[in-house]
Amino acid sequence: MPLKRGNIYLAPGGDRHLQVGGTAALYARLRAGDPVCGHMPSVDVLFHSVADVAGARAVGILLTGMGCDGAKGLLAMSQAGASTIAQDEATCTVFGMPRAAISLGAAAIVAPIGRIAQHALRKAA
Protein backbone atom coordinates (compact mmCIF):
# COMPACT_ATOMS: atom_id res chain seq x y z
CA MET A 1 0.00 0.00 0.00
CA PRO A 2 1.53 3.38 -0.97
CA LEU A 3 2.08 5.75 1.96
CA LYS A 4 0.45 9.14 1.63
CA ARG A 5 1.35 12.27 3.57
CA GLY A 6 -1.10 13.10 6.34
CA ASN A 7 -2.40 9.54 6.77
CA ILE A 8 -2.02 7.16 9.68
CA TYR A 9 -1.47 3.46 9.10
CA LEU A 10 -2.18 0.84 11.77
CA ALA A 11 -0.71 -2.65 11.87
CA PRO A 12 -3.38 -5.33 12.12
CA GLY A 13 -3.00 -7.73 15.00
CA GLY A 14 -2.02 -11.22 14.06
CA ASP A 15 0.85 -13.05 12.50
CA ARG A 16 2.65 -10.40 10.44
CA HIS A 17 4.85 -7.35 11.01
CA LEU A 18 4.20 -3.97 9.38
CA GLN A 19 7.22 -2.58 7.56
CA VAL A 20 7.98 0.36 5.31
CA GLY A 21 9.80 -0.15 2.02
CA GLY A 22 10.71 1.78 -1.09
CA THR A 23 13.05 4.62 -1.90
CA ALA A 24 11.49 7.78 -3.31
CA ALA A 25 7.92 6.44 -3.08
CA LEU A 26 7.40 4.69 0.24
CA TYR A 27 4.93 1.90 0.85
CA ALA A 28 3.65 -0.23 3.72
CA ARG A 29 3.87 -4.00 3.60
CA LEU A 30 3.00 -6.88 5.88
CA ARG A 31 5.70 -9.52 6.33
CA ALA A 32 5.71 -12.86 8.10
CA GLY A 33 8.28 -13.32 10.83
CA ASP A 34 8.89 -14.33 14.38
CA PRO A 35 7.64 -12.28 17.33
CA VAL A 36 10.06 -9.57 18.50
CA CYS A 37 10.10 -8.74 22.21
CA GLY A 38 7.17 -11.15 22.34
CA HIS A 39 5.12 -9.00 19.94
CA MET A 40 3.58 -9.61 16.55
CA PRO A 41 3.41 -7.07 15.03
CA SER A 42 6.36 -5.35 16.67
CA VAL A 43 6.98 -1.61 16.79
CA ASP A 44 10.73 -2.33 16.68
CA VAL A 45 10.37 -4.06 13.31
CA LEU A 46 8.38 -1.12 11.93
CA PHE A 47 10.75 1.54 13.28
CA HIS A 48 13.87 -0.28 12.04
CA SER A 49 12.38 -0.45 8.55
CA VAL A 50 11.55 3.27 8.68
CA ALA A 51 15.11 4.06 9.79
CA ASP A 52 16.45 2.03 6.86
CA VAL A 53 14.32 3.57 4.11
CA ALA A 54 13.29 7.02 5.32
CA GLY A 55 16.09 8.11 7.67
CA ALA A 56 16.00 11.84 8.34
CA ARG A 57 12.70 12.23 6.44
CA ALA A 58 10.83 10.41 9.21
CA VAL A 59 9.25 11.31 12.54
CA GLY A 60 9.00 8.51 15.10
CA ILE A 61 6.55 8.72 17.98
CA LEU A 62 6.34 6.22 20.84
CA LEU A 63 3.22 6.42 22.99
CA THR A 64 2.05 4.75 26.20
CA GLY A 65 2.51 1.01 26.41
CA MET A 66 3.84 -1.88 28.43
CA GLY A 67 7.31 -3.32 27.92
CA CYS A 68 10.16 -2.16 25.73
CA ASP A 69 8.90 -2.78 22.19
CA GLY A 70 9.77 0.21 20.02
CA ALA A 71 12.69 1.52 22.09
CA LYS A 72 15.49 0.04 19.97
CA GLY A 73 13.67 0.89 16.77
CA LEU A 74 13.19 4.50 17.87
CA LEU A 75 16.91 4.64 18.66
CA ALA A 76 17.67 3.35 15.15
CA MET A 77 15.43 6.08 13.73
CA SER A 78 17.21 8.72 15.81
CA GLN A 79 20.61 7.45 14.68
CA ALA A 80 19.38 7.62 11.07
CA GLY A 81 18.54 11.32 11.55
CA ALA A 82 14.79 11.05 12.13
CA SER A 83 12.99 13.28 14.60
CA THR A 84 11.97 11.19 17.61
CA ILE A 85 9.33 11.85 20.25
CA ALA A 86 8.20 9.91 23.32
CA GLN A 87 5.15 10.52 25.48
CA ASP A 88 5.92 11.84 28.95
CA GLU A 89 5.24 9.85 32.10
CA ALA A 90 2.57 12.21 33.44
CA THR A 91 0.21 11.58 30.51
CA CYS A 92 0.93 7.86 29.97
CA THR A 93 -1.40 5.15 31.19
CA VAL A 94 1.60 2.79 31.17
CA PHE A 95 5.05 4.40 30.94
CA GLY A 96 6.97 1.24 29.96
CA MET A 97 7.62 1.74 26.24
CA PRO A 98 8.37 5.48 26.40
CA ARG A 99 10.54 4.96 29.51
CA ALA A 100 12.60 2.31 27.70
CA ALA A 101 13.13 4.62 24.71
CA ILE A 102 14.04 7.59 26.90
CA SER A 103 16.48 5.41 28.87
CA LEU A 104 18.25 4.49 25.61
CA GLY A 105 18.48 8.15 24.58
CA ALA A 106 16.19 7.43 21.63
CA ALA A 107 13.75 10.31 22.17
CA ALA A 108 14.93 13.81 21.25
CA ILE A 109 11.66 15.21 22.60
CA VAL A 110 9.61 14.00 25.59
CA ALA A 111 6.19 15.63 25.60
CA PRO A 112 2.69 15.32 27.02
CA ILE A 113 0.19 13.62 24.73
CA GLY A 114 -1.56 16.90 23.95
CA ARG A 115 1.63 18.45 22.51
CA ILE A 116 3.01 15.54 20.50
CA ALA A 117 1.16 16.39 17.28
CA GLN A 118 2.46 19.97 17.46
CA HIS A 119 6.05 18.69 17.75
CA ALA A 120 5.55 16.14 14.98
CA LEU A 121 4.06 18.67 12.58
CA ARG A 122 6.86 21.12 13.26
CA LYS A 123 9.45 18.44 12.48
CA ALA A 124 7.60 17.15 9.41
CA ALA A 125 7.27 20.59 7.81
Say if residues 94 and 70 touch (Cβ distance below 8 Å).
Answer: no
pTM of the full structure: 0.94
Task: Write out the residue range of the structural domain in which residue 112 sits.
Answer: 16-124
**Does residue 54 lie in a domain region?**
yes
Q: Report the number of distinct structural domains present in the chain.
A: 1
Nearest one of 89, 91, 73, 83 to 122, comparing CA atoms: 83
Instruction: Tell me, yes or no, whether 113 lies in a domain.
Output: yes
In tens, the pLDDT along 74-100 reads 999 999 999 999 999 999 999 999 999
pLDDT digits (tens, 9 = 90+) for 12-41: 988 999 999 998 899 999 999 999 988 999
